[in-house]
Structure 1
Amino acid sequence: MDFLKIDGNFGEGGGQIVRTAVTLSCITKTPIILENIRKNRKDPGLKHQHLTAIKILQKICNATIEGAKIGSTNLKFAPKDVKDAILREDVRTAGSIPLILQVLIPISAINQRKLELSIKGGTDVAWSPTIDYTNNVLREAYERLGINFSIELVKRGYYPKGGGEINLKVFPSTIKPISLTNKKTRKLKIFCSYSKLPEQLIKEKIEKIRSNLIEKNFDVKVVIKNQNAIDSGSTLLIASVDEESIMGIDSIFDKRTNEFRMDLKKITENELGVDENLADMLVVPASLAEGMTIFRVPKISTHLETNLYVTSKITGCKYGVGKLPNGFEVRIEGVSNASIQ
């Protein structure tokens, strides 16, 4: 068996390269060896959320795996056929559920399989998309790519204990290229959830943000919910969706400063097609859609660079990045579904 070697220290050198590599390994049935995983991080190697995703993949594609343990900087991963699955899993920490879903959803959908998953862990944690971002921004983009899934939020889970829970359903899908280039809407939606924090405090913070956006001539709709969690916490998403753009910015409430730390300019001044976080999430499905996917983004993040590199290495897709006056245009020429073995 020939293994494709991938340097886990490439680009941002974090967990993104692990998630992208194992996702595409499963979809294309390409055996891989990942080396130098998170090598230069303060706590190098695999973490709980990476292991949870890898072990779920082992169940749905009967993979042969070596090196799947906490702190491991090398992983050998050889998948077989992806199958339908009904699973219950627990990260056992506040490890990010949304990052695990980034791995699982494309694999089952693109391989024309069904997945039903109940999973416990962190739904809204730092350095990760929130579950609201996943359900309102990523799902919108994936639907346009032809990938269909649903998320039922059972309970929020904040740092440090987690304990959140969601039910995921992924459906067999046929992917297609998309174009997301220019924002035309002035409508924004604010989604906020909080637990064990003063209601008045959260509402004041949201009203301040809403007023700021209205001053910039945006039409703003607000939804605030008190949703109980084990730990106190609050999560915020601001989303914008129209025919030619999908974008969002999210934040976890900082209990030390009593603030949502976010740069509103990332959505108010973004007149392109996607936000910089969504951009890197589009690469994997776009690489396997027959035809050209085009999206415009204000910034080329290290996550996006990493995903373009790993994806082209595994699938053979071609891509190009062009400079615009206000950002960048990314083009990905995907390989057809027929290339999935």
Structure 2
Amino acid sequence: MNFLKINGAHGEGGGQIVRSAITLSCITNQPIHLENIRKNRKNGGLKPQHLTAIRILQKISNAKVIGDTVGSTELKFIPGEIKNLELIEDVKTAGSISLILQVLIPVVSISQKKLNLLIKGGTDVLWSPTMNYTKYVLKDAYSKMGIRFQIEITKRGYYPKGQGIIKLEVEPSKIKPIKLSKRKKQKLKLKCTFSKIPIQIIEEKIKEIEEKIKEHNFQIEIEIKEEEASDSGASVLIYSLDENSIIGVDGLFDKNTQKFDLDIEEILDNSLGADKNLADMLVVPASLGSGKTKFEVKEITKHLETNLFVTSKITGCKYGIGKISNGFEVIIEGVSNTSIK
């Protein structure tokens, strides 16, 4: 069998390589052999959330998988025919559902299939996008690219128990290129969700964020919502959407410092087309569409650099990065993969 070998230690050497590689393996029907998975990380190899994504994709694409165990640094993934499915899955930890959905949504939608999924796990946890980021920021970006999905947040899942419940529906799509250049509007939306924390504390911290935003001459629309969860926790998302830009920043409430861990400057000082986290989420669909996707971003993160490398290796797409006055322009020329009917 003709495996495409991918070094999992390339670039940032984390889970992003795993997610992008198995996503593209399914869509392009290319068997892959991942080596050195998360080799440079403290606890290397595959984690439970990676395995959940791999096993769901195994069901969706009728794949054969070798090496799908916790801690494994090597994985062979041999995709088969992608099917319409209804699934119920459980991460069994507070592992990030958002990172799992980043894998599932493009595979199903770009492959012209449907998925109804109920999944339990972490909705708002460290080192991953909050569920609100996925529901509002990523959804808007993917919608512009032709990818349609719906998310219903039934229950929030914070660390350590997780136990959040998400319902996902994905529809077939045809990918189209997008252009994200300069932000035109000075309007922001803030969405805060919390559980088992006094509302007075949450409102006080959101008020501090609001005052800082208004100092920078932004208009702000605020929604604070108490939602059921097994553990105490809270998250905040601030985002801006217009025809030329999609920018979001999110963070979790730190119960030790009693503050939201939020880099608000990421949105206040960014007048370009995309935030740094969204940028690497655009790469996979952009690589498989027709025409050129262009977006401007303040910095080229290790995640983005790694994703561009892995995606171009699997799909054969071409990409370029150019310096502009206040950041970078990224151009991805899609390949309109012929294996997708």
- Sort the TM-score into its range (normalised by shorter chain): over 0.9
Rounded to whole Å, the distance in 1 between the matches of 2:241 and 2:164 is: 27
1:42-57 equivalences in 2 (<5 Å): 42-57=42-57
Select between 257-266 and 68-77 the one with higher mean Cα deviation.
257-266
C-alpha displacement at 1:339, in angstroms? Answer: 4.6
Could you tell me whether the CA contact under 8 Å between 2:114 and 2:172 is conserved in 1?
yes
1:205-284 equivalences in 2 (<5 Å): 205-284=205-284
Rounded to whole Å, the distance in 2 between the matches of 1:254 and 1:172 is: 39
C-alpha displacement at 1:262, in angstroms? Answer: 1.7
C-alpha displacement at 1:340, in angstroms? Answer: 3.2
Equivalent position SS for 1:104:
helix
Rounded to whole Å, the distance in 1 between the matches of 2:4 and 2:215 is: 53
Letter in 2 for 1:231: D
Identity across aligned pairs (percent)? 62
Could you tell me whether the CA contact under 8 Å between 2:28 and 2:337 is conserved in 1?
no
In structure 1, the residue matched to 2:127 is: 127
C-alpha displacement at 1:58, in angstroms? Answer: 0.8
Deviations 1:121-157 (A, max 9, x none): 0000000000000000000000000000000000000
Q: How many residues are paired up?
A: 341
Rounded to whole Å, the distance in 2 between the matches of 1:107 and 1:140 is: 18
Rounded to whole Å, the distance in 1 between the matches of 2:87 and 2:110 is: 19
Q: Unpaired runs of 5+ in structure 2?
A: none
In structure 1, the residue matched to 2:163 is: 163
Rounded to whole Å, the distance in 1 between the matches of 2:55 and 2:27 is: 16
In structure 2, the residue matched to 1:190 is: 190
Rounded to whole Å, the distance in 1 between the matches of 2:212 and 2:102 is: 32
Rounded to whole Å, the distance in 1 between the matches of 2:169 and 2:262 is: 31
Structure 1 residues 339, 329: closer, same or farther in 2, change over 3 A? farther
- Are 1:102 and 2:102 matched, yes or no? yes
C-alpha displacement at 1:72, in angstroms? Answer: 0.3
Deviations 1:254-284 (A, max 9, x none): 1110111222111011010000000000000
Letter in 1 for 2:13: G
Rounded to whole Å, the distance in 1 between the matches of 2:109 and 2:228 is: 32
In structure 2, the residue matched to 1:65 is: 65
Deviations 1:25-64 (A, max 9, x none): 0000000000000001111100010000000011111101
Rounded to whole Å, the distance in 2 between the matches of 1:215 and 1:310 is: 41
C-alpha displacement at 1:337, in angstroms? Answer: 4.0
Could you tell me whether the CA contact under 8 Å between 2:321 and 2:330 is conserved in 1?
yes
Rounded to whole Å, the distance in 2 between the matches of 1:159 and 1:274 is: 29
- Are 1:335 and 2:317 matched, yes or no? no
Rounded to whole Å, the distance in 2 between the matches of 1:161 and 1:42 is: 23
In structure 1, the residue matched to 2:91 is: 91
Given the two structures, how large is their TM-score scaled by the length of structure 1?
A: 0.99
Q: Unpaired runs of 5+ in structure 1?
A: none
- Are 1:39 and 2:42 matched, yes or no? no
